Amino acid sequence: MANLWHQVKGVQIRDLGEKRYIFKFFHIVDMERVLKGSPWTFNNHLLILHKLSRGEDPLRVPLISASFWVQVHDVPIGFYSENLAIQLGNFIGIFQEYDSANLGKESTNYMRIRIQIDVRRPLKRKKQVKFQNNKNGGRGGKW
């Protein structure tokens, strides 16, 4: 993982047992880049990352949620908006942010939304959305 993350100052990885590890970053920029770049996998296993607070026990932190970028397809071009991204993000999981760079581009046929999901629950695959022009959308959402 350390090689994949290309840190400025490096990272120290310590095995705590119970399938838990501590990643100690030597520069905040490195830590923020890794957290922002999640999800990460190792040997086809999802790495669930949590930024520890001072005094927090790493063996007691519930590792149950992860952030993902999802693509929502079949949204008519004139209906891409932050409000719709928030509504759809909160339907799938917990909305975190959306990629506003894609909004309004005629060449883009999807919205990108970053969400946090509970990895213990099955993914929600579809949501029927009714738009003002009576066209349905969101039927083929991919995430």
pLDDT single digits (tens) 10-32: 889 999 999 999 999 999 999 99
Mean predicted confidence (pLDDT) in 35-58: 93
Angle among Cα 105, 103, 36 to the nearest 5 degrees reads: 120
Query: Please, what is the end-to-end C-alpha distance for the chain in angstroms?
Result: 24
Confidence at residue 24, expressed as pLDDT on a 0 to 100 scale: 92
Confidence at residue 68, expressed as pLDDT on a 0 to 100 scale: 93
Query: What is the DSSP secondary-structure string of 16-61?
Result: EETTEEEEEESSHHHHHHHHHT--EEETTEEE----PPTT--TTTS
Confidence at residue 135, expressed as pLDDT on a 0 to 100 scale: 54
Confidence at residue 134, expressed as pLDDT on a 0 to 100 scale: 54
Q: Does residue 102 or residue 38 have the better pLDDT?
A: 38
- Checking if the pLDDT of 104 tops 70, the result is no
- Checking if the pLDDT of 137 tops 60, the result is no
CB atoms inside a 10 Å sphere around CB 73: 14
